[in-house]
Chain A
């Protein structure tokens, strides 16, 4: 029977020759990731009453959400997690300052094509950019994984997205995925495995592909897979990862639906408050006043994002009416951005650089919004109250749009910055 990548990975992980969509399988987990919410997972794990975790090598814990600790309660939680990893001999522990879990997993070489990965974070789908089936789960499911190494899955149907055309200057993968979510809706991929392919995807860097796999979760995607290629092999070779199978969908595999998008003339896109599928071209919003601009997150805090933003911000000054906050996705991104001079450009333009981590994306620290304020942000959610007061408005856009808007003090088409 012909199968999609998602079906092949779930079949392999559950020890079956093949699986059908709709079937429930009990699958062996290759990698289990959690972050600051490890506290909740460990509380539940204790109730299951296990002496040992199933495999300490396959568990990765990264502190990224409230780092460094923003309150005494957070400090106590982080302390409990440090004690937990010591007790259970979990060596793959990355303490505050290393970066966002999804970025750290890839940089440290934990991900390769064909893996079945679960994480207690919805954006675990990011690893789909490496041809893995990676999905978010809750704390109780993770406690069960820590205990047994297994989890049940309903084999999802696959949606195919064939993306073609060349991106014009300052139009990025963020604009493409926002545009797609605007078309298919906030639940357009709920319960589905998405597969992204076509010449636009093939020509994208790994950084850009990770944006697609990350943000696709906002359409409900259970997994957001990009077929692996030489770029992935080269990336993994640098991390001494060479023995794995590249898994692809069969030619005649059955997709629930396939979409074709020619993005040649696509403008930069904005997801407007407070629905992710309330997507409009930037030209419909130019002039909208903003108080804050955020460049960062697991979606768009990578080196390529910093490169495009610094290209726009070089020798410019951020509007006095705007606080611009820059959050590198990891220590490694931060170091490279220093070497390439991006950080100096941001600082000279008037931006605030905070430590690698989730930053202000989830409204806890490092730039919380007041009622009536607006932000343009390269993060992934614009829900009411997400980044602070419930009366704050969140506009999501690409790093280029964030940078251009920070200079003008209002939502600005980055294409207008081309000299």
Chain B
């Protein structure tokens, strides 16, 4: 799986309340959630965003509540992947279950600026900063988790398994 998009950079401890505020948690449909993605942090996020863009962030991305809507709204908004120094554990699971690639690479985060173009090869576990012509490795992901991401999330993965 190869992804390409421009970086949108944020800092450390980006929490689920700023990714999707509590007032929208009554929504269960991704199309209702997506326009409110990152609203408490970056109100222009949805309008300036191009499908496939990559969120690049510091440590502990997605800390806070267990709300899966945080991963859902980013995925449906068209986020190609999130590259962070580290992820909070519940968000990490939720993102994989939604088929949203979550990639750990401190080096890539440090070297990437806003709007740099990134090329991510999930199979080879490589990140290329096209703008700066730099390459980085990523923390390896267990094979079964890669399978879930490639299938598009846990539900399609379970459906594929039950049909095979």
Binding site for B on A (CB under 8 A): 24, 36-37, 39-40, 43-44, 47-49, 65-66, 71, 73-74, 77, 119-122, 124, 136-141, 143-144, 147, 152, 186-187, 190-191, 220, 222, 275, 362-364, 381, 383-386, 390
Contacts and interface: CB of A to CB of B under 8 A. Distances in A.
B22 A220 contact: no
A186 B59 CA distance: 10
15 contacts: A40-B28, A43-B28, A48-B155, A48-B159, A49-B159, A73-B27, A121-B65, A122-B65, A122-B90, A140-B97, A191-B89, A220-B88, A362-B65, A363-B21, A385-B40
Contact of A383 (B17, B88, B94): B17
A120 B25 CA distance: 13
Contacts of B93: 137-138, 141
A138 B97 contact: yes
Contacts of A139: 68, 94
Contacts of A137: 66, 90, 93
A187 B68 contact: no
Interface in B4-19: 13, 15, 17-18
B40 A384 contact: yes
A187 B40 contact: no
B69 A40 contact: yes
B158 A190 contact: no
B48 interface: no
A141 B158 contact: no
A149 to B, nearest CB: 14
Interface string B83-108: 00010111001100110000000000
B26 interface: yes
Contact of B66 (A73, A122, A191): A122
Interface residues on B, range: 35 or more
B153 interface: yes
Contact of B64 (A66, A138, A381): A381
B37 to A, nearest CB: 14
B155 A186 contact: no
B85 to A, nearest CB: 10
Contacts of B90: 122, 136-138
Contacts of B66: 119-122, 124, 136-138
A154 B93 CA distance: 11
B129 interface: no
Contacts of B21: 363, 385
Given A122-B64, A122-B65, A140-B68, A187 B28 contact: no
A190 B86 contact: yes
B122 interface: no
Contact of A363 (B23, B94, B144): B23
Contacts of A49: 159
Interface in B31-84: 40-41, 59-60, 63-69, 71
Contacts of A121: 65-66
Nearest to B26: A73
A186 B144 CA distance: 29
B154 interface: yes
Contacts of B144: 152
Contact of B86 (A136, A138, A187, A390): A187
